Chains A and B, each alone.
Chain A
């Protein structure tokens, strides 16, 4: 059988294809994004990026009750956005298999918080499946869809960063179509509250059946070992346990909600001490304590914050002392990420810094506007929050507040906030950084980008018209690389008595049409350069200091964005008169 080295997320996509998924939707979010990107390459599946996770979930819900096997993907906080349908759907239950992927991010590699979504699933009374490697990522998709259909329930797969973003070997299979199903109108299932009271006991009855099922399901697997030490674990943490405690008895829970009380009791009775090793909160551990199991150690030993690793577990078990990063006579400075060469966000943050305004930021690459050298983004919470936060700050008496949001984030959750800001007569000044993509997650199209997930042309939301329809009185569209244009638009917007929007347009440099185009790179003419250092203050990574202490632009990196040439008072920076270079 063919085995390939697949990313956890690739394996989930492959699993969805093999399991006959016909509809897939989601919103990009690390560490979930690759699933849909890869699934969209399979023509048998309708895959799409949705405006946000709630919309993706609801379309998935419709597709599943309409008879299609469905996959919906999002990062942990995406499920907060989709929490409304997620809590309601289990009452009616599904028709065809419905699987939602929740990609949790312990360690907050690319998130604003840590959040263990098994609690949300418990609240929704939805079963949770947790694979431990890429092979299981693939296999568990099919298992989850079968489970979904046999119990008529939506199912959640919880992954964590290290599972989603590790590669391991996977045996590939072929696609099997799911059983044919069709939508049947049923007011008692799908409509008014009076009937939903009748559904409520059915949710409990289903949960009882699931509790029986998990006692003997093979993916809740006991691996016998040393009777002194037993480990209950789930997800990628299983691999760490096998690495450092090869002789321990292990109960690997492939389903972490509902939990098998009898199996857990029996396992713990056979071992003197039981460690509970789970990434995130004490979800399994608390359940075990609640059913009277006492011979266990969990979060008190291993901790609740951040990612797990074999080293961390070994240290927590006093098995070894880990070497720490080198220190002493040398300082290892951090290296946070920063705006790419030619990134259009630079001019906006440099203007905001100069204007000394208070900036309510949002979720995207532009959170980096908070870092040196700009330090011009002062709050970041969650998707779309810039606008509401700015309005609230203004109500609290803060003057000269600017909300900054990307185009994808604006579509995701900014539109209702803007409508509200106008309706409630705020003085909102809003900058929409319109780079025609969802940049932070690697460049996914969205409704205002004019492209679909496959790169095909798609209807394009007109942001200007959208703002006008909301009642915004002043809307300015500027070229994001035009420093003066950006600055004067911001000044005008701040001076405007009512809500004002500046749309700073310019394609993300990571988009293929930018990355692989021919450019004539700029260069510094040392005979004209006065070494005034102004171009260094553009903070472009392509501008280096050469051995003669002159600025030098790395030709292969220059995007010809022109910003350094705009700041040069000596006009010493201009395009290199030569063949255009192919950037790649």
Chain B
């Protein structure tokens, strides 16, 4: 096989074969996938709010995907459902509104596809992002202190300041100071709470 055209025809055919099969055909199959109208007329999945979409960008920027997946596998393909990470497996339709799909490949931390359904308190998320060890002893998650401001308390405390209990020795706040989330922290938390990918039934994925 010493003739270049023969070689290149081989390179082209083998590669184009897989390109069509794993890129183009899936594209045609999935590009028009739309929301599903449930019996009560709700369109599922729910479209995300603007602030949650901004938070998704923060999630991407900080590289959360390197420790947290966002996919629930079927009950026969792992313990995801048994661990309470979702009531059903996630399917392609759950991701149609994601600008970037954060499926992830690693579970150094738990799966987050359905975190908004498990933990919907913004206060908990803020405390956890500021000091993971306080909220979840033993955690090796990095603290995102740079998404928060430590500022002197003015005439009144800020309404959205995060209050740690006095017993939380992990966080040292100087007397007369308060911890206030930045816009970015609020966006990120709004995004986390919006993650409810495996909490509503779809025809192709009924709750198990």
Do the two chains belong together in a single complex?
no
The residues of A with any CB-CB pair to B shorter than 8 Å are none
The residues of B with any CB-CB pair to A shorter than 8 Å are none
